């Protein structure tokens, strides 16, 4: 059932004046996953070290469940030691006989994109990186991701593994995802484990501080407020660069109660060249647009009653109807001035109403009888990354009062009254037919 909430003429919907210079890009609301802009969002592209968001997710989940402890110690395998000594890759050098806590390996991965530290985490959780890659692909499926393939935990090209890449993958394989899928992974990561942003937003930190192995880790996210391309509110999330993937970045920033997530894959400058600066410039373009043109608005207030449908008929009750209203408000990020272009949609619970649309007493105050959501008046579909996000613009519709069940005598008298009413109706119809 569709009911209009807002008055006025629908203004023409503003179109995003964006031309993001990347092979693929997407901009979404960080709270609901509402898609605000997209370019080739379903094209499967290289992701490089943005891969590490999945490794982070699985690690944080393992820590939460108690399967892994932050102070758990790890001694490097032969592969991890060899990879860690390659300074052409992003790494913190590890000693072959050293002992490293999971937390410091995690910080090296999240802040400095350290590849050997990432493989170490994969081995801690999966026993081997081969097993961990299976876990990555299984977790992607459980999260409802599409358009992806994980062949290692780091985002490196498998050639960098010096012949020791995970079993079942090719020697030149590299991880791939679509921009929409990367954004969905980032959405799950920051909403399921918001503490990840505390680490991701650390501009610099010393690995093994105070020891002979101390090394300074500067965050590769140069859009953090204190770094080269500082952006107000930026607090994550993950960069990535390989020859195959180009310059990539998943960013997120929060201001004034609004959070946005951006993804660019193979970002390029005006001359068509990929660079670290290009991925941050294109990200800035999307975030500037989002913060300037979108506002978080209350589209439906708490205890809202739908005009013309403020109550629902009730059978077998002391009252023959019950008032209904929304349990809470609906807030959503919308284009400035676009609030009036949305309408509420009421859906009553089919399990609770009969074919005539009636509820059956008894009914308790606060009992859920359906839900209310919103849709654009022009019929356009609002796209969300997840079903969970879609439900964030859906609120329960509840009974505003108790309706007790009528006793047997009242029900009997109503039945008699209805019987004679039907008889009288039949007689009157017949009489009318005589004249």
pLDDT in tens, 215-242: 999 999 999 999 999 999 999 999 999 9
Percent of all residues in the chain with a pLDDT value above 70, rounded to a whole number: 89
d(CA 312, CA 369): 9
What's the pLDDT at 51?
98
pTM, rounded to two decimals: 0.87
Q: Tell me how far CA of residue 290 lies from CA of 37, 131, 257, in angstroms.
A: 9, 40, 13
| Residues carrying an active site annotation | 49, 52, 113
Residues 24-51, mean pLDDT to the nearest whole number: 97
Of the pLDDT bands very low, low, confident and very high (cuts 50, 70, 90), residue 406 is: confident
Residues 296-324, mean pLDDT to the nearest whole number: 89
Of the pLDDT bands very low, low, confident and very high (cuts 50, 70, 90), residue 36 is: very high
Answer yes or no: is pLDDT of 89 > 80: yes
- Give residues with Cβ within 8 angstroms of 410, minimum separation 6: 318
Lowest mean pLDDT among 15-19, 87-91, 282-286: 15-19
Q: Select the more confidently predicted residue: 40 or 411.
A: 40
Answer yes or no: is pLDDT of 420 > 70: no
Answer yes or no: is pLDDT of 136 > 60: yes
Average pLDDT, the chain: 89
What's the pLDDT at 4?
32
Q: Which two tokens stand for residue 59?
A: 């690690």
Residues 349-353, mean pLDDT to the nearest whole number: 91
Answer yes or no: is pLDDT of 34 > 80: yes
Of the pLDDT bands very low, low, confident and very high (cuts 50, 70, 90), residue 416 is: low
Answer yes or no: is pLDDT of 54 > 60: yes
Residues 142-147, mean pLDDT to the nearest whole number: 96
- Give residues with Cβ within 8 angstroms of 263, minimum separation 6: 24, 25, 26, 50, 179, 182, 183, 186, 248, 249, 250, 251
Do 300 and 332 touch, CB atoms closer than 8 A?
A: no
Answer yes or no: is pLDDT of 74 > 90: yes
What's the pLDDT at 389?
85
Contacts by residues 249-254 (CB-CB < 8 Å, ≥ 24 positions apart) = 249/50, 249/221, 249/279, 249/280, 249/283, 250/50, 250/53, 250/182, 250/183, 250/186, 251/221, 251/223, 251/283, 251/287, 252/30, 252/186, 252/190, 252/197, 253/223, 253/287, 253/291, 254/30
Lowest mean pLDDT among 75-89, 132-146, 181-195, 348-362: 348-362
Lowest mean pLDDT among 248-252, 290-294, 414-418: 414-418
């Amino acid at each position: 059932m569709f009911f209009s909430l807002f008055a006025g003429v629908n203004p023409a919907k503003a179109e995003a004046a964006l031309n993001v210079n990347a092979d693929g890009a997407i901009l979404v609301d960080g709270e609901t996953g509402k898609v605000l802009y997209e370019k080739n969002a379903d094209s499967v592209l290289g992701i490089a070290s943005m891969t590490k968001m999945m490794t982070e997710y699985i690690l944080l989940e393992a820590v939460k469940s108690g399967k892994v402890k932050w102070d758990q110690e790890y001694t490097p395998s032969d592969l991890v030691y060899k990879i860690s000594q390659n300074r052409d890759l992003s790494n913190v050098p590890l000693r072959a006989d050293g002992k490293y806590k999971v937390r410091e390996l995690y910080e090296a991965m999240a802040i400095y994109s350290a590849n050997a530290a990432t493989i170490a985490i994969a081995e801690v959780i999966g026993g081997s990186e081969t097993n961990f890659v299976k876990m990555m692909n299984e977790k992607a499926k459980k999260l409802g991701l599409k358009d992806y393939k994980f062949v290692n935990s780091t985002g490196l090209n498998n050639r960098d593994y010096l012949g020791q890449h995970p079993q079942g993958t090719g020697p030149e394989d590299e991880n791939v995802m679509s921009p929409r899928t990367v954004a969905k992974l980032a959405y799950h990561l920051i909403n399921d484990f918001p503490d990840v942003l505390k680490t991701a937003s650390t501009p610099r930190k010393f690995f093994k501080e105070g020891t002979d192995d101390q090394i300074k880790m500067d965050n590769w996210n140069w859009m953090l407020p204190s770094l080269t391309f500082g952006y107000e509110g930026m607090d994550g999330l993950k960069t990535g660069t390989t020859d195959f993937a180009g310059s990539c970045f998943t960013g997120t920033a929060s201001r004034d109660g609004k959070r946005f997530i951006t993804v660019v894959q193979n970002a390029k400058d005006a001359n068509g060249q990929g660079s670290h600066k290009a991925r941050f410039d294109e990200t800035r373009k999307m975030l500037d647009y989002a913060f300037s043109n979108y506002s978080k608005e209350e589209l439906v207030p708490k205890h809202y009653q739908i005009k013309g449908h403020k109550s629902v008929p009730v059978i077998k009750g002391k009252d023959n109807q019950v008032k209904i209203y929304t349990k809470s408000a609906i807030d959503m990020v919308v284009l400035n001035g676009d609030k009036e272009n949305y309408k509420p949609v009421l859906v009553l619970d089919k399990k609770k109403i009969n074919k005539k649309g009636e509820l059956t007493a008894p009914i308790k105050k606060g009992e859920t009888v359906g839900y209310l959501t919103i849709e654009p008046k022009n019929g356009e579909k609002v796209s969300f990354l997840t079903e969970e996000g879609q439900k964030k613009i859906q609120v329960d519709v509840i009974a505003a009062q108790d309706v007790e069940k009528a006793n047997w005598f009242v029900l009997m008298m109503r039945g008699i009254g209805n019987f004679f009413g039907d008889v009288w109706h039949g007689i009157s119809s017949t009489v009318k037919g005589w004249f």
